[in-house]
Structure 1
Amino acid sequence: MPDPVAPAVVLSDEQRAQLVAWSRRATSANGLAVRSRIVLAAADGLSTSAVARKLDVHVATARRWRARFVEQGLDGLLDEPRPGRPRTVRDEQVEAVITTTLETAPKDATHWSTRSLAAELGLSQSAVSRIWRAFGLQPHRQDSWKLSKDPLFIDKVHDVVGLYLNPPEAAVVLCVDEKSQIQALDRTAPIFPMMPGTPVRASHDYKRAGTSSLYAALDIATGTVIGSLHARHRAIEFKKFLATIDREVPAEYDVHVVLDNASTHKTPAVKRWLTAHPRFVLHFTPTSSSWLNLVERWFGELTTKKLRRGTHRSVRELNADIRAWINTWNDNPRPYVWTKTADQILESIARYCTRINDSRH
């Protein structure tokens, strides 16, 4: 039964639609959302105390906003003007900043800056900056993306991810790839060490001393790495690396190898070697999908922790440094744990394709 003193709430279709829209603003205007839900519940015939229980608010709160709506309508739910400096940027100007940022570019640049857009629209730079922050706009940033065109993309994703999440028994799963053309670089001047308030300083130019290519196989179960360094990265070097893996992995285990579609992995000589070693099973990742190979994550750590800021006067010195780093890694290996299923990955890609298609770019 409704409260005998509670005023009845009757909504027009327009009022109900507006209240429903406000009730969904859970983050940007939570207070307005709660008030809208109070009125909607009251319009459904609930008593004030029932509304309070349903929405977990105080009875006085439910009574106040119910009465305010009956007296003043939708306007009664809005915040009253507060003391302080009035707004200097109108809604139309905010809209102009957003649409101009998203839909146009300046004549002399690929994207707007706060200064150029402020000059274009007659606003202050700080106003443009505040609007950009409020709406999450960052014209200076650009991300990259690439979608695989492999006709067997779905099957290969299921195959590789299935190995990660449910590896076969009595088998070793290895993620294999080569990091080619690793340069031995030496700075042209001494590197100044870090000091309080000053980072490490190195000259911007360097001397090249040659290149090396690293083949690596990451065991997904243990995190250990089998590595082999070569001067080149042809099919013959890849076949030698397969022989290295064959020696390293105990004979009682099958060997499942995750690798990309490089031509050096499919030559007749490699196929003959695989035929002679039937315990090896290759699982190819889709084209343009290096993110699916876990050894790429390990290559990233090698680059950031050793190669990017390392100095090497010769290829011999570079190779020795890489071998030492691999040995240190294997002393305390850290496996990478794959968590997403193939279906989750494919659903995520589908959502992304839908989003970029809907953007009309």
Structure 2
Amino acid sequence: MPIRAAVTVVLTAAERHRLKKMAYGHKTPHQTRQRATIVLLATRGRANAKIAADTRLHVDSVRTWRGRFAHGGIPALTDRRRSGRPARFTPVQVTEAKALACQLPAESGLPLSRWSCPALAVELTARGITDGISASTVRRWLRQDALKPWQYRSWIFIRDPAFRAKARRILDLYARTWRGVPLSADEYVISSDEKTSVQARCRCHPTLAPGQEAQQREPRDADDR
């Protein structure tokens, strides 16, 4: 079986200087230091097996980072962005769960005085808001907004019949989506209700002159200095 030749790595002076700082820097993350060391050893013409033995890494790891640097330079030594597991619940479902927690159980015809996370999970499934949800997930959602319906005193809450449609439009914008189409890099979402107060305000009271005690203290303070 033929042995695949190692990729040739050539560095510029700037790249070599930066890689040395990455490989020997005290504050450099361990993985970044290993990858920079692989590239520096590769520039000396060493084989991947030799580099793997010197760095105590697997030869496949050495081959991967050596090849990625040869094709992409120093930026290729960083981890690629991972999509991760897709969200199981939509922002609208999360918001509806929080809205339900702000209602009294009696309004839903339940013989409960206060909500608990298990009771909310059962009610969300019964209403068809979610297919199935655990009490721990509900507890995590409520913790985001410091909601504790089991400790409530009173609520001022209005349930809008068009809540779902209105909330979906706002939540999609927070997720950088408009009418099902993701926003591009040059498009921005600005929420005016989250801006701080910037309007000019006039003084409610006129500026007062300093009192007699303050006027008498100033000369004494000057003499002390």
TM-score, structure 1 as length reference: 0.22
More helix by share: 2
More strand by share: 1
Higher relative contact order (CA 8 A, sep 6+): 1
